[in-house]
């Protein structure tokens, strides 16, 4: 028999994912960097594999690895080159990165103080990111 806490957690996370992915195409910006990434992923589809990834603008700027482009390609391929593929993959990774610490926090025997600190840390971050999606 499944514990009641597992059922409640599954319902909460399912609802959170549904709300987060609701109308994601209308809430996702398509700025210059998404346009650049889309172009690079489209080049992968034609057989031109990138060696360098995007440039991180900062102190002088530096190149990131091309792993991000290869991570986007399966969604691009299965969605037939749709512009929605890039925000969908980014949103999925973002949601899973928030989900994993919450599951660890909920189902490990950390104690009330540590669980409270972790919840405080991640809840603020979740609320901040939810306003953008």
Name the pTM for this structure.
0.63
Residues recorded for the chain: 133
Q: What residue numbers bound the domain in which 20 lies?
A: 1-28+85-133
Chain mean pLDDT for the chain: 75
Q: Which of 8-17, 69-78, 95-104, 116-125 has the lowest mean pLDDT?
A: 116-125
Q: Based on the domain organization, do 43 and 21 belong to the same domain?
A: no
Domain total of the chain: 2
Mean pLDDT of 87-92: 80
Mean pLDDT of 101-123: 66
Q: Based on the domain organization, do 76 and 39 belong to the same domain?
A: yes
Q: Based on the domain organization, do 58 and 94 belong to the same domain?
A: no
CA–CA distances in Å: residue 115 to residues 103, 107, 121: 11, 10, 10
- Over residues 54-85, the pLDDT tens digits come to 877 766 677 778 888 888 899 899 989 888 88
| Angle of helix 67-78 versus helix 32-45 axis, rounded to 10 | 70
- Which of the pair, 80 or 2, is modelled with greater confidence? 80
Spatial separation of the C-alpha atoms in residues 76 and 84, rounded to whole Å: 8
- Over residues 6-25, the pLDDT tens digits come to 677 677 777 777 777 777 76
- Among 83, 110, 125, where does a domain finish? 83
Spatial separation of the C-alpha atoms in residues 43 and 75, rounded to whole Å: 14
Q: Based on the domain organization, do 89 and 24 belong to the same domain?
A: yes
Q: Based on the domain organization, do 24 and 89 belong to the same domain?
A: yes
Q: What angle do CA 29, 62, 76 make, to 5 degrees?
A: 40
Q: Look up tokens 């009330």; give the residue.
A: 112
């Amino acid at each position: 028999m499944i514990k009641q806490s597992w059922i409640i957690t599954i319902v909460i996370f399912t609802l959170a994912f549904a709300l987060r992915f609701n109308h994601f195409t209308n809430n996702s910006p398509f700025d210059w960097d998404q346009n650049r990434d889309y172009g690079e992923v489209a080049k992968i589809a034609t057989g031109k594999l990138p060696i360098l990834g995007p440039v991180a603008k900062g102190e002088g700027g530096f190149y990131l690895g091309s792993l991000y482009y290869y991570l986007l390609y399966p969604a691009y391929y299965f969605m037939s080159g749709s512009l929605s593929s890039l925000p969908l993959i980014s949103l999925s990774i973002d949601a899973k990165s928030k989900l994993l610490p919450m599951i660890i926090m909920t189902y490990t025997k950390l104690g009330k103080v540590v669980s409270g600190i972790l919840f405080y840390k991640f809840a603020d971050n979740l609320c901040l990111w939810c306003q953008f999606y």
